[in-house]
Amino acid sequence: MCETCGCGQRKITLTVGEALLSENERWAQKNRAWFKKRQVKVINLIGSPGAGKTSLIEATARLWNQGKIAVIEGDPETQRDAERLSALGLPVAAVTTGGVCHLDARMVHQAFHQLVETDPHLLFIENVGNLLCPADFDLGEDLSVVVLSVTEGEDKPEKYPQAFRRAQVLVLTKIDLLPYVDFSLDRCLSLARQINPSLKVLPLSLKTGEGLSDWLEFLRS
Amino acid sequence: MCETCGCGQRKITLTVGEALLSENERWAQKNRAWFKKRQVKVINLIGSPGAGKTSLIEATARLWNQGKIAVIEGDPETQRDAERLSALGLPVAAVTTGGVCHLDARMVHQAFHQLVETDPHLLFIENVGNLLCPADFDLGEDLSVVVLSVTEGEDKPEKYPQAFRRAQVLVLTKIDLLPYVDFSLDRCLSLARQINPSLKVLPLSLKTGEGLSDWLEFLRS
């Protein structure tokens, strides 16, 4: 038996969590209406630190010729990724969350104020590097994309299902490293499709460019 | 100007966050006293999904000969990692958080109830795969270890500083992949030491075994 125990109540956590999500949903709806009015298509990128989210935006921006791109760049600290993307000439609104583990719809709303006059056709929201918490927050986006690198392991859809459930697309990055890691593409896709049968999967390498044309074609469609 | 805006208050978030952390601190102190009384050394492993936390415990367990190891295994969903470790004969308490992004001290307390009779000398707590939220929660551990793989990128200490600030040790995994990725070891260490000058760094590969003896020697000392 426990030498020190004495169990407390945890109900407050759930209640407050629900209130915050409902508050978020109100802002997400505002965003959705705003994005529709401005005719901007919005993509929410969710993935672990180092999965390749910023590199995916960089590669897309270099090859894109169907209208203006803007970026809302979420990071717990520093504006390094925002600076990388600004260097390409993209309008970028940096959201430094001060350690907070996700973007919420209100942060996105405030950030879009900085971008709306650039009149973008396509808006990337790079979420904070985290495969868990961002999946709980609707930002008002049109498309949710989960970015997973093959170095993270084939079991991740099963262990972090919410991000895979939420997404319409899985971009599987770093496929140039497949010869050097233990990763079964078949097993990963099978696990992902158990969670989300209609998930579209786009494997690619941002180093070699393999698969990038499929991603661009998908975005155009 | 905003077409839809109307800013609210967010004070409640901070207030509740502080209350939860203070509640956590009480449980962490209980844990610390309990671990001390049971003479068990406790290591909290924090890192992104796929950084190599479970593999590090597996490799350590295979080579360890200085007393009994037990594991508290945190995962948002599934007990796959707990099963991997149980297969090695380790006593494992699985904490499936149901999507919650970190372990807190109370979860650890409850999980240790399941392990205390195995009388371990060394207890690994594998935190939920997330480089952000777990860093805010003291679990009552003796040692906090941040596990970062070279495939995640050299800039991570700067972007996710709290985990690097909290840790006494950085285990840098997957160094067998260094020839295939853009990763400057020097720059990563320089950024990490700007945040935490006394951080001990142990680069290793769980695939080739390189560096593993240094990790074991460190644990023994």
Q: Could you tell me how many CB contacts below 8 A there are between chain A and chain B?
A: 148
In a domain, A144, yes or no: yes
Residue A4 lies in a domain: no
- Report pLDDT for B8: 41
Distance CA A124, CA A54 (A): 10
What confidence tens digit (pLDDT) does each residue in A115-124 have? 999 999 999 9
- A1 within a domain of the structure (yes/no): no
Question: What's the pLDDT at B26?
Answer: 96
Domain annotation covers residue B5: no
Distance from CA of B150 to the nearest CA of A (A): 9
Is residue A95 within 8 Å of A65, Cβ to Cβ? Answer: no
Binning pLDDT at 50, 70 and 90, where does residue A19 land?
A: confident
ipTM for the predicted complex: 0.88
Give strand pairing partners of B93: B72
Residues 195-214 of A with CB under 8 A from B: none
Q: Residue B100 domain-assigned? A: yes
Chain A residue nearest residue B133, CA to CA: A101
Q: A132: which chain B residues are within 8 Å (Cβ-Cβ)?
A: 76, 99, 101, 128-130, 133
Segment B40-68 mean pLDDT: 97
Q: Quick: pLDDT tens for A159-204.
A: 999 999 999 999 999 999 999 999 999 999 999 999 999 999 999 9
The total domain count for chain A is 1
Cα separation, A61 vs A55, whole angstroms: 10
Q: Which residue has the higher pLDDT, B16 or B178?
A: B178
CA A195 to CA B52: how far, in whole Å?
24
A93 domain residue, yes or no: yes
Q: What is the pTM of this model?
A: 0.90
Average pLDDT over residues A21-37: 95
Tokens at B42, concatenated? 């406790």
Is any Cβ of chain B less than 8 angstroms from the Cβ of A37?
yes
Question: In terms of CA atoms, which chain B residue is nearest residue A77?
Answer: B159
Q: Which of B1, B3, B4 to mutate to test the interface with A (most CBs of A within 10 A)?
A: B4
Residues B69 and B121: their CA atoms lie apart, in Å, by: 6
- How much is the pLDDT for B10? 41
| A6 part of a folded domain | no
Contacts of A206 (CB under 8 A, 6+ apart): A52, A55, A56, A58, A59, A173, A174, A212
- Mean pLDDT across chain B, nearest whole number? 92
Q: Which of residues 61-90 of B touch A (CB under 8 A)?
A: 75-78, 80-81
Provide, as residue numbers in chain A, all residues whose Cβ is less than 8 Å from the Cβ of B103: none
pLDDT band (50, 70, 90) for residue A6? very low
- The secondary structure of residue B89, as a DSSP letter, is T
Flag whether A3 is in a domain.
no
Query: For position A216, which CATH number holds?
Result: 3.40.50.300
Domain of B145 in residue numbering reads as 11-220
